[in-house]
Amino acid sequence: MTNEMPRLALLVSDAERAQDVAAEAYRDLFDWVPLEQADVAVILGGDGFMLQSLHAMLDSDRIIPAYGVNLGTVGFLMNRNRQPEKLLHRIGKARRLDILPLAMEATTQDGAVHRFQAINEVSLLRETRQTAKIEVLVDGKTRIKELVCDGVLLSTPAGSTAYNLSADGPILPLDSQLLALTPISAFRPRRWKGAILPDRSQVTFKVNEPAKRPVSAVADQRELRDVAEVRLEIARERPLILLFDPGHALDERIVAEQFVF
């Protein structure tokens, strides 16, 4: 960060606790400016609200550094809520971390094409009691002709400790330049536990028997139902910027998460 006083925008989750803390400790700290005029966004809430705020930046095509203050449960993408009066100093000392999102191009059964981006992961999930049957291609080559499963996901390093970890996928260091391809309750092939891919890979999922076995695609918090095909690759031209207090950076927490029992 520069020594010049940054213009700050305050984004607050609708959650009651976040609203209360903002009113008591943050709203009167500075002359906050609207997001479109700010140099840094201060985001009060949890990981879900941080993702929501980052997606709003992607949608608006104006991306600025985001400093999160955890008022949620896990707060993996956030900093601790402490000493609000030293907020400006902490932002000045913060470490910058660039996050590359996934670009998703999905075609639905009616032929419509939809484009979303995901910061954590894109997951394909069965919509009914019928198991999904999904062909998995990497760089245009079929790697699994038919994955019979509840679903499958592709995760960025930033999202590898979220749904991917719950599905028994690998934790990826932020600078690994890798993606995690992880099945969700796979029935066939029974022993396939997923794959780790270079982040330059293009991954395609083709839904077999889509009318009988409908599948939805979820890019972080956005769901698209009845997909027929989903193409995924890293969006290198639009990095997102997170700010972390020294010693509290996301990459350190990703390493630490691997030693939690």
| 123-157 confidence digits (pLDDT tens) | 999 999 999 999 999 999 999 999 999 999 999 99
Query: Residue 47 catalytic?
Result: yes
List the domains of the chain with CATH numbers: 8-100+239-257 (3.40.50.10330), 102-234 (2.60.200.30)
For 25-56, write each residue's pLDDT tens digit. Answer: 999 999 999 999 999 999 999 999 999 999 99
H or E stretch at 251: helix 250-257
**194: which 2 tokens?**
């997923």
Q: How many CB atoms lie within 10 A of CB 237?
A: 7
> Which amino acid is present at 242?
L
Quote the distance between the C-alpha of residue 10 and its chain's center.
21
Choosing from 47, 139, 168, 251, the catalytic residue is 47
Residue type, 132: A
Cβ count near 89 (within 10 Å) = 10
Rounded-to-integer distance, Cα 41 and Cα 54, Å: 10
Q: Give the residue, 5 or 151, on which the prediction is more confident.
A: 151
pTM of the model: 0.86
